[in-house]
């Protein structure tokens, strides 16, 4: 849901809370016993938990302490709606909600400028992809726009590494294996610490047995990427690892945008990694 529509939803929700408060004030006696009114209170509370709170947290980065205040208030209303609650207690809760609703909820959403929403061209990365990688990136972009940045980066890297695997398949596994042998024999310079020798025979073996970091080193050795491109892709890979393992490190919108920009520029839009080829040629090289 975009910001404009969500603001309208919040305003309507606030209006419904005010109407429910006024109805409760007109009730005679000390308890609320009217089932229709109690159902309205229940429905409002449920709407908060199922629709509003998740969007406030994921799409608009609302402060967790603020969310907790309303979670407690609507949680209490949800509990009270199942019985015959005190009219005074219900009114006190609604008063507190409405008193702070504009400042605590509406204003932060109105002021929020999600960085990802400023880049409508993010979808253009899909124009440079096909097949499986397109599926991964479509889901990755959806996750990013929902504020699920870690999931977005993990899926985005899956798409990126898939393209690199397909490129190696196109070029032939013999070339890849020979590069690892040559690198392992180097005793000085940039590649002196690379000591692995690979014997990869097919795409499945490449996917299952070669670490992504080693793959980047071999691509640099082959001259497909240079040292600076290797470093930038290495940062993308490190970010992917950060997202895939538990820890306190946060991933910002800026991190996600930088990631997608780099994998698009360095891999998907890079003519070096074009995988258009004759299928018979691929089969003969793989064999």
Tokens of 204: 């499945």
pLDDT at 117: 63
Q: What is the rounded average pLDDT of the residues 249-270?
A: 91
Query: Above 90 in pLDDT, residue 123?
Result: no
pLDDT at 264: 94
pLDDT at 283: 40
| Sequence spans of domains, the chain | 3-111, 116-286
pLDDT at 251: 86
Q: What is the rounded average pLDDT of the residues 140-144?
A: 88
Kindly report the average pLDDT of the chain as a whole number. 90
Q: What is the pLDDT of residues 64-101, one digit of tens each?
A: 899 999 999 999 999 999 999 999 999 999 999 999 99
**Backbone phi and psi for residue 2, each to the nearest 5 degrees, phi listed first:** -75, 170
pLDDT at 281: 38
pLDDT at 116: 61
More confident residue, 62 or 22: 22
**CA dihedral over 105, 111, 115, 120, signed as positive or negative:** positive
Query: Above 50 in pLDDT, residue 168?
Result: yes
Contacts 24+ apart (CB under 8 A), 103-108: 104/66, 104/69, 104/70, 105/10, 105/56, 105/62, 105/66, 105/70, 106/7, 106/10, 106/11, 106/14, 108/60, 108/62, 108/63, 108/66
SS (H, E, C) 200-227: CCCHHHHHHHCCHHHHHHHHHHCCCCCH
* 127 CA to centre of own chain: 20
pLDDT at 276: 67
More confident residue, 175 or 286: 175
**Backbone phi and psi for residue 86, each to the nearest 5 degrees, phi listed first:** -65, 130
Q: What is the pLDDT of residues 173-217, one digit of tens each?
A: 999 999 999 999 999 999 999 999 999 999 999 999 999 999 999
**Backbone phi and psi for residue 201, each to the nearest 5 degrees, phi listed first:** -115, -20
Q: Using N-to-C axis directions, what is the helix angle for 35-47 and 3-25, rounded to 10°?
A: 150
**DSSP classification of residue 246:** -
Q: What is the rounded average pLDDT of the residues 13-31?
A: 95
Residue 31's DSSP bridge partners are 86
Write down the pTM of the prediction: 0.64
CB 197 within 8 A of CB 180: yes
Reported as a pLDDT band with limits 50, 70 and 90, residue 280 is very low
Query: Above 50 in pLDDT, residue 278?
Result: no
pLDDT > 70 fraction of the chain, expressed in percent and rounded: 93
């Amino acid at each position: 849901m975009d910001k404009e529509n969500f603001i309208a939803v919040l305003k309507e929700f606030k209006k419904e809370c005010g109407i429910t408060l006024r109805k409760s004030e007109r009730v005679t006696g000390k308890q609320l016993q009217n089932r229709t009114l109690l159902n309205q209170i229940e429905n409002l509370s449920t709407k908060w938990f199922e629709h509003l709170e998740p969007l406030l947290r994921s799409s608009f980065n609302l402060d967790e302490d603020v969310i907790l205040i309303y979670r407690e208030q609507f949680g209490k209303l949800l509990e009270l709606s199942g019985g015959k609650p005190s009219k005074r207690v219900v009114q006190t809760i609604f008063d507190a909600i409405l008193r702070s609703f504009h400042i605590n909820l509406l204003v932060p959403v109105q002021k929020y400028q999600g960085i990802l929403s400023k880049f409508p061209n993010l979808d253009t990365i899909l124009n440079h992809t096909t097949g499986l990688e397109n599926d991964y990136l479509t889901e990755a972009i959806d996750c990013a726009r929902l504020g699920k940045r870690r999931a977005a980066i993990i899926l985005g890297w899956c798409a990126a590494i898939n393209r690199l695997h397909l490129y190696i398949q196109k070029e032939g596994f013999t070339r890849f294996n020979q590069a690892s042998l040559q690198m392992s024999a180097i005793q000085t310079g940039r590649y002196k610490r690379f000591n692995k020798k690979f014997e990869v025979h097919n795409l499945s073996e490449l996917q299952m047995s070669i670490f992504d970091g080693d793959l980047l080193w071999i691509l640099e050795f082959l001259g497909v990427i240079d040292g600076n491109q290797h470093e930038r892709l290495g940062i993308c890979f490190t970010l992917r690892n950060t997202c895939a393992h538990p820890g306190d490190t946060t991933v910002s919108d800026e991190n996600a945008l930088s990631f997608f920009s780099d994998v698009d520029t360095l891999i998907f839009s890079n003519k070096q990694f074009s995988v258009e080829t004759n299928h018979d040629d691929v089969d003969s090289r793989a064999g």
